[in-house]
Amino acid sequence: MNASKREAIDRLLKMVFRATGLVTIGLLGGIFFMLLFNSIAFFAKGNPIDFFTGSQWNPGSDAGNYSILPLLASTGFVALGSMMIAVPLGIFTATFLSELAPDTLRTILKPVIEMLAAIPSVAIGFLGIVLVGPAIARVFGIQNGLNALNGSILLAIMALPTIITISEDAISAVPKTYKEASLALGANKWATLFQVTLPAALPGLIAAVMLGLGRALGETMTVLMATGNAAALPKGFLDSIRTITATIAIEMGEVPYQTTHYFALFAIAVVLFIITLLINLLGEFFANRLRKFHA
């Protein structure tokens, strides 16, 4: 092969790789602008103040109430609730797996946890309707177990594999020298774990929680099936709710093209997008601050 031909191939390959990189950026930008332009149309037509301050999402009414608050609160409830369950459970499981479990148990547990991630969200939704919902209804003595608590439990189950896997990687990656340093100073196993190993793994643990939270915020099918579908401001975890994602999934297929309602769905999508973006940035910021203390 002669030199000019080789250079041509060299250039071509460079372009191919650059193009693949740019596609990702293009996709992200494209989605963002599509959401943005459509939601600008909503704010131009509709009532932006009511969108943020109102208390009802009721597109069917004559006036057409498009307040994001009930949906945002719903999303917030299930996301927060699921993290309250999944974060401690996930991090403790990860710690157990990487620091305490005997090898035989670890080799069984790890694939089982990874299989948990492979269960389709629809199936988890079934679980919510058939099992978790009735259980909640019995325990709390209420009519209907399809509520925020149900959604939180299911989303926790779905976020667990992500949180466990990434946390375990983070904990296992803590250098052995840290542990030795701590033990050699006369610290016991638990002090070493809680004061050295876990703090050293914290950037990774934050990343794990953020990814888990992202999963919980974005999940649609499970919450659609198991949280009762009530677009009203929830007062507690036993109220039925409807998240931003579920609202979009339910209404987008029915809504007439380019109506206020149509644009409103884009507007709530943008809000969700911005929230997930902020959470990611925040997680990254804290993780970077902690990384300063690492070699």
Q: Which two tokens stand for residue 89?
A: 């459970």
228 - beta bridge partners? Answer: 241
- Cα distances (Å, whole numbers) of residue 12 to 4, 5, 8, 183: 12, 11, 6, 55
Q: Which conformational region is residue 225 in: left (phi greater than 0), alpha (psi within -120 to 50 degrees), or beta?
A: alpha
Q: Which residues contact another protein (rule: CB under 8 A)?
A: 175, 177-178, 180-188, 191, 195-196, 199-200, 292-295
Q: Which two tokens stand for residue 195?
A: 């004061």
Comparing CB distances to another protein, the nearer of 160 and 174 is 174
Q: Which two tokens stand for residue 95?
A: 């710690």
Q: What is the β-pairing status of strands 57-58 and 65-66?
A: antiparallel
* Of 219, 92, 105, nearest in space to 167 by CA: 92
| Residues 258, 91 contacting (CB under 8 angstroms) | no
Task: Give the nearest distance from C-beta 96 to another protein in angstroms.
Answer: 17
Comparing CB distances to another protein, the nearer of 81 and 203 is 203
Give the gyration radius of the chain's Cα atoms: 24
Task: Give the nearest distance from C-beta 167 to another protein in angstroms.
Answer: 17
Comparing CB distances to another protein, the nearer of 186 and 253 is 186
Comparing CB distances to another protein, the nearer of 179 and 215 is 179
Comparing CB distances to another protein, the nearer of 118 and 295 is 295
Task: Give the nearest distance from C-beta 191 to another protein in angstroms.
Answer: 6
Task: Give the nearest distance from C-beta 181 to another protein in angstroms.
Answer: 5
* Of 275, 220, 217, 215, nearest in space to 251 by CA: 220
Task: Give the nearest distance from C-beta 245 to another protein in angstroms.
Answer: 38
Comparing CB distances to another protein, the nearer of 178 and 273 is 178
Task: Give the nearest distance from C-beta 201 to another protein in angstroms.
Answer: 10
